[in-house]
Structure 1
Amino acid sequence: MTDLDYRLEDFLSQVELEICEYLNKQKTKFPNSSKLLKRFTKRKDDWIHVSNHFRELKAKEKLGCKENSKSKEKTKLQDNIIIRNNELAEVVNELCIAKLFVEDITIDSIEYEPIVFKGDKSIDFHLRFIDGQTAYCDVKTIHPDDTGNWEQYQRALKNKLFPSHASFDLQQDSLGGILWHHSFASRTKMLEHVIEFEEKIVQKAINSSRKIMLFCGDGFRLSKDELEDFADFYYTEKYRKDDFMQLMEAYSMEKEAIILLRNIDYIAYFERKPMNLEYKFIPRVHGSASI
């Protein structure tokens, strides 16, 4: 096992001890917590299975088994490990958020995945507050990979797709391609996720309850500042002057005939770094009023 594997195993043990055991004792406030806890266990077991298979394959390589088929299998397993890591990050975020809701004294009860749609889609949480109000909260973790896309950034500069008053200056030798990919992919996912949540709201005719879109990030691949730009556009139908994605997003929305329903009440932000249970939570994201 690598040091990273050991660190992740230690972290998962910490999650079980500090969060899973805690939530398992909150049956009064969170009656169906077992559904979320079982999902964590399943994803942890999936990660262990894939990781063990990958280590076995590497061991065979050291013994001289380097056939082309083994190389293809190794690449496939590496991709699978990334998927499993992302799935773990997503469910750990949901566990942390569930704990946050349980500890919120204004919330009377919590239900996990109260509404499930075709295609394994759902709304993640239903909250009932002590004052009688209710809310539906959909949780999405945004974690683009570290693929560099310097050529796309250069094309955007050449085609003048950045506003003159909102430059986005990057250097190729300072992770410029990766940083660009993070920003572009994250903004694309923000739009995709709110559209999907809006459709869920309409499909289930959710009117009287508050609707919360909760984005999770690690503070690097998804930054709070960039989420503020998107949130302000969503609330006001106008782009902030310093939103460097506005021209590209507006062009894409017009080309694809996207019209936002704007039936989501709050865009929230949950930030947690990898293999760390400390977090920041902002219940309603918005930018500076002066811009």
Structure 2
Amino acid sequence: MKVDAISNDTAYYFLRQLGLERFNVKNLNAGHCAKARSWESKKAKGAWSMSRYAEPDENGEVEGVDGQNNNVAYLSRSNGNSPTEQLKKIGLSANKFTFLRMMRGSTLRALVPYLNKEQLLLAMRLFPKMLLVRLIGSLPKDMLLKMILHTIPLKKFLALFKAKVLFSIVANKRLNVREMVNGLEHLPREELQRLMTNITGSDTTQLNKPELLGMFRELDKLQLMNGLRKMGQEHFLEFVYQVTKKDPQLLMALPRGELMKVVNSMPKPTLVELFNLLPKSQLEQFVSMLPYKALLVALYQIDNKTMESLLVNQFPDLIAALAGDGLEAA
């Protein structure tokens, strides 16, 4: 089914989402949408070479002109005027959105690298929260943890989980007896006495902290784990905090599903901020996944100087198409 040009209301909504109200919405008014529709109408009537256009794809994308390497066609439409002259005449600022609207969907995705990182982050705001969560969930677990800990302190993060979830860290082979005892050093003597009594059944009330720690070093990991299962939540959390603070790689033992519950609990603005930790290339990949209309608005951020160079050097047919309609700068 053929998709109409993006509506003024939809365009304005996306601009608001991006915080781009500074771009005059007048540039996205119904007149500019009409230009794209007029162009498509002439295309449908065979005014230009039909072989150079494609129908909308299954996502409703309206495929436009393939503007490269067609100087002969361009000259026939522009009466010999150069692309630069024609573009200056019709005005880029007034027709920027229309130019984007006339491009192929695949071409739009190829333009994403022309956005800087700040613009890419703004474009991420066009995704609904559900999709932002899915994109984060597609990342490797170490990056997932990095993103979470960027916004939540380690101890507060650990406190989000039940003891049975945190025990996956204790059970990890990476954590040995020596490191476990180092973590126990931060607990009060009374708690260490209770722990040792739970493990051995002997009275330890007369033992001091160094003596208790020495006894713990003589135990095997399974004995320590059995004792920790009976430890109160507060002290167990402190123990897990100490061992993970020293060796953050232990956090990799946490189930991905539990990590995603934390991500899903975050508000959308916080989720968007997390993407700042990703390299530009990864952001480009994600922004390229935006729906067609959202991608149009994201690419509207490309600065005019860059856009002018792209149009003149790669898409002279687009300039010819608009100039040939006798469109004037708004």
Q: TM-score range by the shorter chain?
A: under 0.3
Structure whose residues are more often helix by fraction = 2
Which of these two proteins has the greater Rg computed from alpha carbons? 2
Structure whose residues are more often strand by fraction = 1
Q: Give TM-score, length-normalised by structure 2.
A: 0.22
Q: Give TM-score, length-normalised by structure 1.
A: 0.24
